[in-house]
């Protein structure tokens, strides 16, 4: 009787979605992997992929069996599942699931994602018409019978991070209002990685702002007394995590290129805010948003020394070539303020989307 016990295979168990043939929805099952068998391996050929808004991108993912070139055993259907990791890594958002001839995409990915399938072991995901919200880390999971493995790929977008505060002034946004403020200006709330890259590129801002993970931080390249002290080292200062409903700060937004034309409207007279809105509409466009002036300045090198109204009621102008009377010390989008909409007169920046 005792000798029979030694015939039991040593196994490893874990819980994971059940690849049921009749459904792609989530169920739970205990998987058992025999350690003596060829182990399933999932590999991403690149850890980070770069793209831009409106483009198409392929997130690489292939699967093999260890020590063999065989993609699958042939006895079990392969189930491929793609999810997006949230910025705080606390949960996953379903993107795409495939098993046999069944395919299902989820949410805002519907109609925009499919598998490349260039070979029998290719589980790479193609995302079309990239959106700002697609930025982030994606997990490719392959399940075959009792085995599964995963790989993670980061999708990074070319773009620009900019600090934003509303007409009410500094430190007036809770986290949810900060998210909406960015969306209203053709952008999304920035991630820490995006803010860090902006800091490495020279972004220096002394006001703390929300990031997508719920933290509050600010980038300093030139240490000085009002911003943490002049004897401190440059870096991204971290205030930590605060109450998303009650705490109030500014926000760092991220935007990318756009499919349209950003321009300063040539008009015979200066305009009030309402006149500026109507002037853009009459020209077949809309008054431009803050994200669009930053994208035009950073990604297209747009340069204009004329202050103009924007959609949020602010007045700004973009300088990519610093010169006397036009931001002599640095290239920047200069902020004039939030003038009186009814009485102050300025030019206007418009945006015409391409169909």
Binned at pLDDT 50, 70 and 90, residue 13 comes out as very low
Task: Note whether 173 and 133 are same-domain residues.
Answer: no
Place of tokens 């401190």: 232
Domain containing 328: what range? Answer: 257-353
339-349 average pLDDT score: 98
Task: Note whether 270 and 322 are same-domain residues.
Answer: yes
The yes-or-no verdict on residue 248 having pLDDT over 90 is yes
pTM confidence score? 0.83
How many domains, the chain? 3
**Is residue 131 a part of any domain in this protein?**
yes
Instruction: Give me the CATH number covering residue 53.
Output: 2.60.40.10
Classify strands 28-34 and 62-65 as parallel, antiparallel or unpaired: unpaired
Q: Which one of 253, 269, 290 terminates a domain? A: 253
Task: Note whether 46 and 152 are same-domain residues.
Answer: yes
Task: Note whether 143 and 230 are same-domain residues.
Answer: no
Task: Note whether 279 and 341 are same-domain residues.
Answer: yes
Task: Note whether 104 and 212 are same-domain residues.
Answer: no
Q: Which one of 253, 272, 299 terminates a domain? A: 253
Q: How far, in whole angstroms, is CA 98 from its chain's centroid?
A: 25
Task: Note whether 59 and 149 are same-domain residues.
Answer: yes
Task: Note whether 329 and 268 are same-domain residues.
Answer: yes
Task: Note whether 214 and 235 are same-domain residues.
Answer: yes
Binned at pLDDT 50, 70 and 90, residue 11 comes out as very low
The yes-or-no verdict on residue 72 having pLDDT over 90 is no
Instruction: Give me the CATH number covering residue 319.
Output: 3.10.100.10
83-110 average pLDDT score: 92
Task: Note whether 125 and 113 are same-domain residues.
Answer: yes
**Is residue 18 a part of any domain in this protein?**
no
């Amino acid at each position: 009787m005792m000798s029979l016990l030694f015939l039991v295979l040593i196994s490893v168990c874990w819980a994971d979605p059940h690849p049921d043939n009749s459904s792609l929805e989530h169920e739970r099952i205990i998987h058992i992997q025999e350690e003596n068998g060829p182990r399933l391996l999932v590999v991403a050929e690149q850890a980070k992929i770069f793209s831009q808004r409106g483009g198409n991108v392929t997130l690489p993912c292939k699967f093999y069996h260890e020590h063999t070139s065989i993609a699958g055993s042939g006895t079990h259907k392969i189930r491929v599942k793609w999810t997006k990791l949230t910025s705080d890594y606390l949960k996953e958002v379903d993107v795409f699931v495939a098993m046999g001839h069944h395919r299902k995409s989820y949410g805002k990915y519907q109609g925009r994602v499919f598998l490349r399938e260039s070979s029998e072991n290719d589980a790479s995901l193609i995302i079309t018409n990239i959106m700002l919200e697609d930025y982030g880390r994606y997990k490719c999971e392959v399940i075959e019978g009792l085995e599964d493995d995963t790989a993670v790929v980061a999708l990074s977008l070319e773009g620009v991070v900019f600090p934003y505060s509303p007409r009410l002034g500094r430190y007036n946004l809770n986290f949810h209002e900060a998210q909406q403020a960015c969306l209203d200006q053709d952008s999304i709330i920035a991630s820490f990685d995006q803010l860090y890259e902006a800091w490495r590129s020279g972004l220096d801002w002394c006001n703390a702002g929300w990031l997508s993970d719920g933290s509050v931080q600010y980038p300093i390249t030139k240490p000085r007394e009002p911003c943490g002290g002049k004897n401190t080292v440059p870096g991204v200062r971290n205030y930590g995590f605060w109450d998303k409903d009650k705490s109030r700060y500014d926000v760092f937004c991220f935007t990318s290129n756009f499919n349209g034309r950003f321009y300063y409207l040539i008009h015979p007279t200066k305009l009030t805010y309402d006149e500026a809105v109507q002037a853009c509409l009459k020209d077949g466009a809309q008054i431009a948003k803050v994200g669009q002036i930053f994208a035009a300045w950073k990604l297209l090198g747009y340069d204009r020394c004329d202050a103009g109204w924007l959609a949020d009621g602010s007045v700004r102008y973009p300088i990519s070539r610093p010169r006397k009377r036009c931001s002599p010390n640095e290239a920047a989008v200069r902020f004039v303020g939030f003038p009186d909409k009814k009485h102050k007169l300025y030019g206007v920046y418009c945006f015409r989307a391409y169909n």
